[in-house]
Amino acid sequence: MLNLLEGYKGSVEVNGIAYSDLNKAIQAVKGSGEQLTIILNKGAKIKDNQAQEIQELEGSPIYKIKVRQYMTKPASPEFDFHDKWNNGTPMPMRIMVGRKLKETRGMVQMELWGEITEQLTHSCMKCGRTLTNPISKYFGIGPECGGHNYVNPFETDDELREAVKDMQEQLKEIKWTGWIIKSAIEEQEVVR
Ligand SMILES: [Zn+2]
């Protein structure tokens, strides 16, 4: 739908996020399939979002969230959100656990880490793809993203449990704090 506006030169706000030009907006919502609320040229001088009010959130529960893939992509001329808001650092994984710190109408700032929250996980926490290998489901990460192989690696249940514990320790060290576009969160649940 944004494509209909091609050639439009002013600022664009889509679902509460302000963009300095149309191409950035198109890039950010591409393929999301969600309903778009578009506001054109809202105050000609708005500098991407800065005008939005930031609210502190206290006593946040611990969430598990899954974000759309573009939040894990490095900043580029078409998608400079991470440059503007997260010192150029994209999210390291699509599924992460953590608490909410602050929010605006269109964004939420979260402190996140990697964590296996259930005995079996069905999508790769890093890339979001469906896990098919039964061992991968214990780790929550596929062989490509986790750099492990599964040619009969465990002799006993104890060995497997030990390996899952190691993975859990490694995941805890994958930390990221930053701003997330609210409409990029495709799943969210409170884990504790
Ligand atoms: Zn993966």
Look at the chain and count its residues.
192
Question: What spacing in Å lies between the alpha carbon of 164 and ligand 1's midpoint?
Answer: 16
Helix (H, G, I), strand (E, B) or coil at 34: coil
- Residue 112 has a CB neighbour count (10 Å cut-off) of 24
Question: What spacing in Å lies between the alpha carbon of 131 and ligand 1's midpoint?
Answer: 8
CA distance 126 to 128: 6
Q: Residue 46 pLDDT > 50, yes or no? A: no
Q: How would residue 151 be classed by pLDDT, with cut points 50, 70 and 90? A: low
Question: What spacing in Å lies between the alpha carbon of 101 and ligand 1's midpoint?
Answer: 27
* Lowest mean pLDDT, pick from 15-19, 41-45, 101-105, 120-124: 41-45
Whether the Cβ atoms of residue 143 and residue 151 lie closer than 8 Å to each other: no
- Please report the pLDDT score of residue 22 as a whole number: 79
pLDDT digits (tens, 9 = 90+) for 75-122: 899 999 999 999 999 999 999 999 999 999 999 999 999 999 999 999
Question: What spacing in Å lies between the alpha carbon of 11 and ligand 1's midpoint?
Answer: 36
Provide the CA 38 distance to its chain's centre, in angstroms.
22
Q: What is the DSSP secondary structure assignment for residue 153, as one 8-state letter?
A: -
Q: How would residue 65 be classed by pLDDT, with cut points 50, 70 and 90? A: very high
**Tokens found for residue 18:** 């302000």
Residue scoring higher pLDDT (37 or 171): 171
Q: String of b and e for 91-111 (b: at least 16 CB within 10 Å)?
A: bebbbbbbebbebbebbbbbe
Question: What spacing in Å lies between the alpha carbon of 115 and ligand 1's midpoint?
Answer: 15
Among 10-19, 124-133, 139-148, 150-159, which range has the highest average pLDDT? 124-133
Alpha-helical (H) ranges within 51-175 are 81-85, 134-139, 143-146, 157-172
- Indicate the pTM of the whole model: 0.74
Question: What spacing in Å lies between the alpha carbon of 51 and ligand 1's midpoint?
Answer: 37
Residue scoring higher pLDDT (12 or 68): 68
Whether the Cβ atoms of residue 127 and residue 142 lie closer than 8 Å to each other: yes
